[in-house]
């Protein structure tokens, strides 16, 4: 595959004041047309870093896509930097100037004189027409690299990439295609999963397999390259099948599929329903379940019983159990699950009660202690989870919610 | 100001398969402590690009923060690359190894042997303890640059940056400071807010003021530079005061303060309590409220009545009202709020019922139609919200939750 670099220009990006959404979009589109993004560099609106970055890219990349720095103001330096690296002068391009004037006329305005600088091109470069903005793009070769400079405004950049850049790069890519897939796993840590897949994760293999830890879930990425889409697809599928064989029930979904989606699909397929009784998760399990469109088919509802009275009043938890064992106990988790199942008329119910912190922990019941309950027609069980007392509230809550959903998933899988 | 580079490691990042949220967070935090981020480079999990990038950073940056590549698997190469650039060997660090073992023990597991590689350090480097994950960080000097390598998992990285990296870098910074603040607003659109602040938003002004639209909320960013922290702070505060004067009750919070935090603080200050009755939001309002530590002081709980039977059974909604007006109606929103207030024994109750889509809409009740109810001791009111039918499910739900919380906020403010 060809090796591409993405360069994003803007001080608002380097200072973290705006989030760069162009780079992710470009990297995915480049992969689809056979260019693997190997570096993404964000540089501020200053000439020296820009020239320095372009010089490196010129020496190391086959293709470079620059976004930003093509505006009409003094801090727009992409044209100047390209000319500097190419060792040529900037000269006005008559056709671009006419297009910029026409762009303003369509909006009923005369072109401000300042915008004339946008029609300057390094000698020998070609303009890339911008039909929805005032900044034309620039195409030129710098040493090894074919360089495309596009505006930073996302919809202008995307339009120009798809219309002019992609066809040009596809022709250059000698046919190679990169396809990707992610298997979403839960139930073991990253190193255990890495061990199960060790030989598939050899460096330089095709497909390439790698793991990423999220909060309580592990993503297994598979990237397959091939001379054609069909070849890449066949490689991807073979490796996916092998990974799934080894990982078994650890895999709950693919690509964007969430754990709640997976649980929902199982409930739906079996014609069964679910309710939740939430204390420390505060509605998070219900929120995750109802992120899935159509979840009303299997999700009856939740009782978020944050206060003890609510546990008694709405879930029928025995006040004596609360006094004797405390709200954070296996007994109360079980009673909460049973109560939600009965009150909401569901086949299954999940409950969660615990100490999400940062306050409220004791030696016997530290922050990070959570009990999960699962009730069905056959009975109820509780499970104890312990996350470090140092884990942030958000992580404890999300891990507890994911563990509860996974408990039900495994039950549904039998 | 000192010149900092941020290096993010991961093939999933260069290929656009995961979005890098660390870099934006790091750039902002670095600016606050006098280090201006001048370059952000994302490199894949391959040794050569990593070594190449670290070499450049070593020659050009005062400080470098690397995130990612510290995991236990073969594609985690940050330790190897650091040793290569430093020209030293990797050697086991006994203290880190003990900490990794203890990390697994706290979770009731033995450390997998594979994780021992995480205790390897380039000779002469110092470990940075990771109290919430298995990957210790690495601190070493490479030529000009002080390099901090941290794990890619956001909460581990942030914890370690705040505890160990920031204090070390603050001591190193001399000269200009850039301070930033965000005022979080709800109730008007970005262009209306832009108009209220037009003269403060002039380009090149110090402080610099800009706006960003989120889902239903608007952020007003203020960046103030100064030769000392005190000077920057004085500038920031003057502009913040002026912006607040113009924006009035549109401002609900500052920086990371959420709308749920603001509502919670008002409830707490008045010694009052809240319950929610949620249909289309599915627990999201409860989840947002309980993201705030200590929310048990004012949040009684929620009933997520996704199914109609749950609305009747748990909230006492009149079945005749459901038949006559439908679940998505002002009448049912009012009855849900009253039911939650009564059943959960709270001073206030919020409810939400609507069509979050993408399915389930009709001509009379399109996707995006939501009713919000607010009940208190004096009575109940419902408000109709209409979001475009092509708004994504997630956006409709979050906007509805935010609008409900803001309704209560304005009531509490009087």
Which one, of B165, B223, B160, B219, lies nearest residue A14 by Cα?
B223
Beta-strand pair B299-305/B274-278 = parallel
| Better-scored residue on pLDDT, A301 or B219 | A301
Report whether B209 contacts B183 (CB < 8 A): no
Report the C-alpha gap between A342 and B313 in whole angstroms.
Answer: 11
3-state secondary structure of A129: coil
Q: Is A300 in the B-facing interface, judged by CB distances under 8 Å?
A: yes
Looking at the structure, tell me whether residues A403 and A316 fall in a common domain.
yes
Sheet bearing B126-128, strands edge to edge: A126-128, A137-142, A145-150, A63-67, A2-9, A35-43, B35-43, B2-9, B63-67, B145-150, B137-142, B126-128
Q: Is A23 in the B-facing interface, judged by CB distances under 8 Å?
A: yes
Looking at the structure, tell me whether residues A274 and A146 fall in a common domain.
no
Q: Is A203 in the B-facing interface, judged by CB distances under 8 Å?
A: yes
Contact A16 B36 (CB under 8 A): no
Scanning A271-304, the segments in alpha helix (DSSP H) are: 284-290
Which one, of B237, B229, B240, lies nearest residue B200 by Cα?
B240
- CATH classification of the domain holding B365: 3.90.950.20
Residue B203's pLDDT is 65
Residue B189's pLDDT is 77
Task: Pull the structure tokens for residue B374.
Answer: 């607010």
Number of domains in chain B: 3
Contact A13 B107 (CB under 8 A): no
Q: Which residues of A touch B305 (CB under 8 A)?
A: 301
Looking at the structure, tell me whether residues B267 and B408 fall in a common domain.
yes
Q: Is B276 in the A-facing interface, judged by CB distances under 8 Å?
A: yes
Which one, of A408, A298, A276, lies nearest residue A352 by Cα?
A276
3-state secondary structure of B350: strand
Cα distance from B72 to chain A (closest Cα, Å)?
Answer: 6
pLDDT in tens, A26-83: 998 898 788 899 999 999 988 999 999 999 999 999 999 999 999 888 778 999 999 9
Task: Pull the structure tokens for residue A243.
Answer: 């990974």
Contact B38 A17 (CB under 8 A): no
Q: Is B272 in the A-facing interface, judged by CB distances under 8 Å?
A: no
Cα distance from A175 to chain B (closest Cα, Å)?
Answer: 18
Q: CA-nearest residue of chain A to B339?
A: A314
Report the C-alpha gap between B319 and B308 in whole angstroms.
Answer: 9
Q: Rounded mean pLDDT of chain B?
A: 92
B267 CB-near residues (< 8 Å, 6+ apart) = B273, B274, B298, B299, B348, B412
| Strand segments (E) across A257-322 | 274-278, 299-305
Q: What is the percent of chain B with per-residue pLDDT over 70, rounded to a whole number?
A: 98
Looking at the structure, tell me whether residues B187 and B165 fall in a common domain.
no
Task: Pull the structure tokens for residue A117.
Answer: 């600088």
Looking at the structure, tell me whether residues B218 and B157 fall in a common domain.
no
Q: Which residues of A touch B75 (CB under 8 A)?
A: 201, 203, 210-211
Q: Is B106 in the A-facing interface, judged by CB distances under 8 Å?
A: yes
Q: Which residues of B touch A391 (CB under 8 A)?
A: 132, 155
Cα separation of the two ends of chain A: 44
Looking at the structure, tell me whether residues A314 and A368 fall in a common domain.
yes
Looking at the structure, tell me whether residues B90 and B146 fall in a common domain.
yes
Cα distance from A408 to chain B (closest Cα, Å)?
Answer: 19
Contact A345 B284 (CB under 8 A): no
Phi-psi region of B23 (alpha: psi -120 to 50; beta: other; left: phi over 0): alpha
Looking at the structure, tell me whether residues A286 and A340 fall in a common domain.
yes
Q: Is B305 in the A-facing interface, judged by CB distances under 8 Å?
A: yes
Place of tokens 């993010």: B8
Q: Which residues of B touch A283 (CB under 8 A)?
A: 278, 282-287, 289-290, 302, 304
Which one, of A405, A385, A400, lies nearest residue A253 by Cα?
A405
Q: Is A356 in the B-facing interface, judged by CB distances under 8 Å?
A: yes
Q: Which residues of A touch B114 (CB under 8 A)?
A: 191, 194-195
Looking at the structure, tell me whether residues A348 and A379 fall in a common domain.
yes
pTM, two decimals, is: 0.79
Q: Which residues of B touch A278 (CB under 8 A)?
A: 283, 286
Phi-psi region of B262 (alpha: psi -120 to 50; beta: other; left: phi over 0): alpha
Q: Which residues of A touch B275 (CB under 8 A)?
A: 310
Residue B210's pLDDT is 79
pLDDT in tens, B354-372: 999 888 899 999 999 999 9
Model ipTM value: 0.78
Cα distance from A304 to chain B (closest Cα, Å)?
Answer: 5
Q: Is B300 in the A-facing interface, judged by CB distances under 8 Å?
A: yes
Cα distance from B170 to chain A (closest Cα, Å)?
Answer: 17
| Segment (H or E) for B155 | helix B154-160
Q: Is B192 in the A-facing interface, judged by CB distances under 8 Å?
A: no
Report the C-alpha gap between A233 and A251 in whole angstroms.
Answer: 20
Cα distance from B106 to chain A (closest Cα, Å)?
Answer: 7
Q: Which residues of A touch B291 (CB under 8 A)?
A: 282, 393-394
Domain boundary among B172, B187, B203: B172
- CATH classification of the domain holding A214: 3.30.70.2860
Report which DSSP code applies to A74.
Answer: T
Which one, of A247, A322, A245, A236, lies nearest residue A279 by Cα?
A322
Contact A223 B11 (CB under 8 A): yes
Q: Is A212 in the B-facing interface, judged by CB distances under 8 Å?
A: yes
Beta-strand pair A2-9/A35-43 = parallel
When pLDDT is cut at 50, 70 and 90, the band that residue B174 belongs to is: low
Residue A174's pLDDT is 63
pLDDT tens per residue, chain A (414 residues)?
789 999 999 988 998 877 898 999 999 889 878 889 999 999 998 899 999 999 999 999 999 999 999 988 877 899 999 999 999 999 999 999 999 999 888 877 788 888 899 999 999 999 999 987 888 999 999 999 999 999 998 888 998 999 999 989 887 766 678 888 899 999 998 889 999 999 999 878 899 998 888 778 999 999 898 888 899 999 999 999 999 999 999 999 998 899 999 999 999 999 999 999 999 999 999 999 999 999 999 999 999 998 999 999 999 999 999 999 999 999 999 999 999 999 999 999 999 999 998 888 999 999 999 999 999 999 999 999 998 777 889 889 999 999 999 999 999 998
Q: Is B178 in the A-facing interface, judged by CB distances under 8 Å?
A: yes
Looking at the structure, tell me whether residues A229 and A330 fall in a common domain.
no
Q: Is B270 in the A-facing interface, judged by CB distances under 8 Å?
A: no
Domain boundary among B199, B222, B254: B254
Q: CA-nearest residue of chain B to A285?
A: B283
Contact A36 B45 (CB under 8 A): no
Cα distance from A301 to chain B (closest Cα, Å)?
Answer: 5
| Better-scored residue on pLDDT, B383 or B212 | B383
Looking at the structure, tell me whether residues B7 and B112 fall in a common domain.
yes
Task: Spell out a b/e string for B85-113, using b for 16 or more CB atoms within 10 Å of the CB, else e.
Answer: bbeeebeebeebbebbbebbeeeeeebbe
Contact A307 B300 (CB under 8 A): yes
Q: How does DSSP assign A145-194, residue by residue?
A: EEEEEE-SSHHHHHHHIIIIIHHHHHHHTTT-EEEEEEEEE-SS-HHHHH
Report whether B290 contacts B276 (CB < 8 A): no
How many alpha carbons fall within 13 Å on the CB side of residue B365? Answer: 17
Looking at the structure, tell me whether residues B291 and B369 fall in a common domain.
yes
Report the C-alpha gap between B78 and B59 in whole angstroms.
Answer: 18
- Mean pLDDT for the stretch of residues B186-213: 83
pLDDT in tens, B323-343: 999 999 999 999 999 999 999
Residue A166's pLDDT is 92
Domain boundary among A229, A254, A279: A254
Residue A12's pLDDT is 81
Q: Is B116 in the A-facing interface, judged by CB distances under 8 Å?
A: no
Q: CA-nearest residue of chain B to A7?
A: B41
Residue B390's pLDDT is 67
Residues 225-254 of A with CB under 8 A from B: none
Residue A3's pLDDT is 92
Residue A175's pLDDT is 63
Of B13, B306, B344, which is closest to A296 when you measure between CB atoms? B306
- CATH classification of the domain holding A126: 3.40.980.10
Residue A163's domain comprises: 2-172
Q: Which residues of B touch A343 (CB under 8 A)?
A: 313-314
CA A369 to chain centre: 29
Report whether A353 contacts A279 (CB < 8 A): yes
Strand partners, B353: B371
pLDDT in tens, B87-100: 999 999 999 999 99
Residue B213's pLDDT is 67
Secondary structure in 3-state letters for B245-302: HHHHHHEEEECCCCHHHHHHHHHHHHCCCEEEEECCCCCHHHHHHHCCCCHHHCEEEE
């Amino acid at each position: 595959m060809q090796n591409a670099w993405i360069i994003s220009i803007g001080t608002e990006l380097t200072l973290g004041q705006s989030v760069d959404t162009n780079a992710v979009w470009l990297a995915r589109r480049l992969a689809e047309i056979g260019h693997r993004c190997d570096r993404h560099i964000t540089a501020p609106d200053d000439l020296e870093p820009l020239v320095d970055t372009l010089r490196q890219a010129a020496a190391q990349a086959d293709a470079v896509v620059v976004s930003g720095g093509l505006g009409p103001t003094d801090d727009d330096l992409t044209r100047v930097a390209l000319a500097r690296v190419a060792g040529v002068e900037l000269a006005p391009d008559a056709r671009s100037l006419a297009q910029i004037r026409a762009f303003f006329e369509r909006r009923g305005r005369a072109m401000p004189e300042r915008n004339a600088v946008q029609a300057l091109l390094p000698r020998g470069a070609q303009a890339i027409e911008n039909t929805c903005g005032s900044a034309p793009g620039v195409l030129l070769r710098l040493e090894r690299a074919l360089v495309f400079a596009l505006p930073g405004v996302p919809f202008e950049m995307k339009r120009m990439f798809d219309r002019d850049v992609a066809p040009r790069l596809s022709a250059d890519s000698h046919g190679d295609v990169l396809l990707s897939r992610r298997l979403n796993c839960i139930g073991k840590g990253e190193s255990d999963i890495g061990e199960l897949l060790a030989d598939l994760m050899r460096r330089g293999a095709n497909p390439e397999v790698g793991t990423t830890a999220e909060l309580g879930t592990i993503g297994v990425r598979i990237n397959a390259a091939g001379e054609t889409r069909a070849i890449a697809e066949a490689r991807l599928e073979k490796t996916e099948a092998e990974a799934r064989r080894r990982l078994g029930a650890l895999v709950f979904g693919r690509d964007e599929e969430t754990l709640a989606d997976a649980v929902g699909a199982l409930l739906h397929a079996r014609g069964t329903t679910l309710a939740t009784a939430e204390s420390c998760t505060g509605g998070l399990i219900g929120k995750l379940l109802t992120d899935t469109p159509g979840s009303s088919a299997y999700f009856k509802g939740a009782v978020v019983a944050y206060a003890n009275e609510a546990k008694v009043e709405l879930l029928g938890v025995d006040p004596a159990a609360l006094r004797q064992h405390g709200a954070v106990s296996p007994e109360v988790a079980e009673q909460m699950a049973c109560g939600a199942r009965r009150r909401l008329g569901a086949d299954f119910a999940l409950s969660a009660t615990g100490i999400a912190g940062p306050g409220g922990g004791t030696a016997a019941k530290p922050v990070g202690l959570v009990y999960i309950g699962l009730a069905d027609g056959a009975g109820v069980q509780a499970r104890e989870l312990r996350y470090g007392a140092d884990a942030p509230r958000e992580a404890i809550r999300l891990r507890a919610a994911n563990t509860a959903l996974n408990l039900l998933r495994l039950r549904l899988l039998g």
